[in-house]
Chains A and B, each alone.
Chain A
Amino acid sequence: MDEPWAVRWLMIGTALLFLGLFLLIPLAAVFSQALEKGLAVYLSAISEPDAISAIQLTVLAAAISVPLNLIFGIMAAWAIAKFEFPGKSLIITLIDLPFTVSPIISGMVYVLIFGLQGWIGPWLYAHDIKIIFAVPGVILATIFVTFPFIARELIPLMESQGREEEEAALTLGAGGLQTFFRVTLPNIKWALLYGVILCNARAMGEFGAVSVVSGHIRGSTNTIPLHVEILYNEYNFAAAFAVASLLAMLALVTLAVKSLVGWKMREET
C-alpha cells in the first residue's frame, strides 16, 4: 500500500482512539470501581453466599448448554454442509433465529409455553414441575440464545471441505463412527473449539432471556449478570462491579483463548 503516512497514521490513530474510548476505558473502570473500597470488600462481594450461588448457577447453565449445543451444532452443520435435502434453507434460517430475535422475546416465549398462564403451565403446576422462575427455565433460555454459535462456525468450513474425504474413508472400509472420529472431527477441531469458546462466553454472559425466565430469586435463580444488576439497583456499586469484574475476566480469558485458537487454525490451513 502506498497511502501517504499522514493518512495511515490518522486511520490507525482514530481506530485506536475509538478502541480505547469504547472498550479499554470501560474495562479499566470495571476493575477500578470493583477495587475502590479495597481488596477486602472485593473479596467478600464475590464470596458471599448469594454471589457463590449466582456463580454456581452460571457455571451449571454453561456446563449443560455448551455440551448440548456442541452435539446439536455438529449434527446440524454436518447435515447442512454435507447433504442436499428439501427444507435446508429453512433450517439455516431457524438456526439463525436466536441471533435475529431480541433475547427478551426468547425469554417471553418460554414464559408463554411453560408459565402458569401458558400452554402447558397448568399441567406442569399440577405435576409440581417448575420451569419458569426456576433453574430449568434459566438453562432452557441459555440453550436457546447460544444455539447458533457452534453450528454457524462449522457450516462454512464443512461446506468448503466437501464430502470427498468422508467418501474416501467409506471406500476404505471405515464405518460411520470411524469416519466421523478419524476424518470429520480432526478436520473441524479448531473451528469447533472456536465455536465452543464463543458459545460459552455467551452462555455465561446472557442477560435478557435469562432475566425474563429467572424471576431473580436470590441464592436460587440468579446468574452472575442478574446478580450484578440487583446489586447495582441497590446502589451497592463496589459489590456490583466486583462481581462484574468476574465476567470481565471471563471475557479476557475468552479473547486470549480465541486468538490462540484462531492462530492455530490459520497455521494448519
Chain B
Amino acid sequence: MDIEIVGISKQFGRFKALKDVSLTIPSGELVALLGPSGCGKTTILRIIAGLESTDSGSILFNGEDVTQRRVGERNIGFVFQHYALFRHMTVFENVAFGIRVKARKIRPKKEQIKSKVFELLRLIQLDHLSEKYPAQLSGGQRQRVALARALAVEPEVLLLDEPFGALDAKVRLELRRWLRRLHDEIHVTSVFVTHDQVEALEVSDRVVVMNEGKVEQIGTPEEVYNHPATPFTCDFLVNVNLFHGNHVK
C-alpha cells in the first residue's frame, strides 16, 4: 500500500512540529525518516498511524483519504520506541492480542490463533519464550516481540518509532540487518524513524531527511549521501563515512 502525505501541518502549543509537509511512500518499500531530535519525524509517524491528529493537510492510503479514520481502522502495525509490551501478559498473549480483540465473527478459532502466533514467534526466533513476561526478556527480545505483535494483525503498513534506539550497539547491528532481511521476505510497506544516519543509509530503500518540521530531501541512500540537495542534508550526512560504497542489500 502506498502512502501519500499532502501538505500536513501540526502544532503543539506554540511549537510548530510540522510545516506543510508532503511526501509519498511507495508501496512495498522500507523508508527511513531521518533527522535530528525535534525535527518532526515521530510526529509524522504518529499522524500516519492516526495516534495524532493533523491541523491541516491529508493522508491518503492507496489514493483513499484516511485523515479522519481512527487508529484501529487504518490497518497499520506500530512498533513503539520503548516497545509498549503489555506487562501483565506473556509473550504469547502479547502477540495474540491483536487477533483476540477482533470482532467475534471475523476472529479465528483458538487453534488457528495459536498456530498463527507460533508461526510469528518462530519468525522472530522466540517460540521457546512464549510463556515469559516482558520483564523477563532482554531489550532485543522485547523489540522482536513488539514487531511480532504488530505483524499479527497483518498490517498493510508497518510503522517503527526509533526501533533500535534503546538497544546496545551489537544488538542494534544484528537487529537492523534482521529487519532488512525480514522486509525482503514480507515486503510490507514500512516506515521507520531514526536519528542515526548509518542506520537510515544501511537499512532503507529510501531516506527522507527532515529538519525543523520540513522535508529537506527524499531519495535513495546513494542519492542523499552522494548528492545532498540542501546545506542541511550535506552537513547532517558529512561525517558519515562508514559507507565506503559497499552498501549491500
- Which A residues are closer than 8 A to B by beta carbons? 164-165, 167-175, 178, 182-183, 186-187, 268
Which B residue sits closest to A170, measured CB to CB? B71
Q: Are the C-beta atoms of B88 and A186 separated by less than 8 Å?
A: yes
Q: Are the C-beta atoms of B88 and A187 separated by less than 8 Å?
A: yes
B49 contacts A by Cβ under 8 Å: yes
Contact A171 B49, CB 8 Å, known A164-B80, A178-B101: yes
Which B residue sits closest to A165, measured CB to CB? B84
Q: Which of A164, A167, A169, A268 contacts B97 (CB 8 A)?
A: A169
Q: Are the C-beta atoms of A172 and B101 separated by less than 8 Å?
A: yes
Which B residue sits closest to A179, measured CB to CB? B101
Q: Are the C-beta atoms of A172 and B98 separated by less than 8 Å?
A: yes
| Residues on A with beta carbons closer than 8 Å to the beta carbon of B51 | 167, 170-171
Q: Are the C-beta atoms of B101 and A168 separated by less than 8 Å?
A: no
| Residues on B with beta carbons closer than 8 Å to the beta carbon of A182 | 86, 97, 101
Contact A187 B72, CB 8 Å, known A167-B51, A172-B149: no
**Bound complex: CA A106 to CA B84 (Å):** 42
Contact A174 B82, CB 8 Å, known A167-B51, A187-B87, A187-B88: no
Q: Are the C-beta atoms of B80 and A183 separated by less than 8 Å?
A: no
Q: Are the C-beta atoms of B101 and A165 separated by less than 8 Å?
A: no
| Residues on B with beta carbons closer than 8 Å to the beta carbon of A170 | 51, 71-72
**Bound complex: CA A168 to CA B102 (Å):** 15
**Bound complex: CA A174 to CA B94 (Å):** 13
Q: Are the C-beta atoms of B71 and A171 separated by less than 8 Å?
A: yes
**Bound complex: CA A174 to CA B72 (Å):** 7
In order of increasing CB-CB distance, the 7 nearest A-B pairs are A172-B98, A164-B84, A171-B78, A168-B84, A174-B101, A170-B71, A173-B72
Interface size on B, residues (CB 8 A): 22
Which B residue sits closest to A189, measured CB to CB? B88
Which A residue sits closest to B75, measured CB to CB? A173
Q: Are the C-beta atoms of B82 and A171 separated by less than 8 Å?
A: no
| Residues on A with beta carbons closer than 8 Å to the beta carbon of B71 | 167, 170-171
**Bound complex: CA A178 to CA B80 (Å):** 20
Which A residue sits closest to B133, measured CB to CB? A268
Q: How far is the CB of B157 from chain A (nearest CB, A)?
A: 11
B150 contacts A by Cβ under 8 Å: yes
| Residues on A with beta carbons closer than 8 Å to the beta carbon of B85 | 165, 168
| With A167-B78, A175-B72 already in contact, 5 other A-B pairs whose C-beta atoms are closer than 8 Å | A164-B82, A168-B84, A174-B101, A182-B97, A187-B87
| Residues on B with beta carbons closer than 8 Å to the beta carbon of A178 | 101
Q: Which of A173, A187, A268 contacts B98 (CB 8 A)?
A: A173
Q: Are the C-beta atoms of B87 and A165 separated by less than 8 Å?
A: yes
The A-contacting residues of B in range 40-98, CB under 8 angstroms, are 49, 51, 71-72, 76-78, 80, 82, 84-88, 97-98
| Residues on A with beta carbons closer than 8 Å to the beta carbon of B98 | 172-174
Most A CB atoms within 10 A — which of B85, B88, B150? B88
Q: Are the C-beta atoms of B150 and A171 separated by less than 8 Å?
A: yes
B153 contacts A by Cβ under 8 Å: yes
Q: Are the C-beta atoms of A167 and B72 separated by less than 8 Å?
A: no
Q: Are the C-beta atoms of A173 and B84 separated by less than 8 Å?
A: no
Q: How far is the CB of B177 from chain A (nearest CB, A)?
A: 25
| Residues on A with beta carbons closer than 8 Å to the beta carbon of B97 | 169, 172, 174, 182
Q: How far is the CB of A182 from chain B (nearest CB, A)?
A: 7
| Residues on A with beta carbons closer than 8 Å to the beta carbon of B72 | 170-175
**Bound complex: CA A268 to CA B135 (Å):** 10
| Residues on B with beta carbons closer than 8 Å to the beta carbon of A165 | 84-87
Would you give 16 A-B contacts (Cβ < 8 Å), ordered by A? A164-B80, A167-B71, A168-B78, A168-B85, A170-B71, A171-B49, A172-B97, A172-B153, A173-B98, A174-B97, A174-B101, A175-B101, A182-B86, A183-B86, A186-B88, A187-B88
| Residues on B with beta carbons closer than 8 Å to the beta carbon of A186 | 88
| Residues on B with beta carbons closer than 8 Å to the beta carbon of A164 | 80, 82, 84
Q: Are the C-beta atoms of B149 and A167 separated by less than 8 Å?
A: no
**Bound complex: CA A173 to CA B82 (Å):** 20
Q: How far is the CB of B228 from chain A (nearest CB, A)?
A: 34
Q: How far is the CB of A154 from chain B (nearest CB, A)?
A: 16
Most A CB atoms within 10 A — which of B72, B77, B85, B102? B72
Interface string of B13-51 (1 = CB under 8 A from A): 000000000000000000000000000000000000101
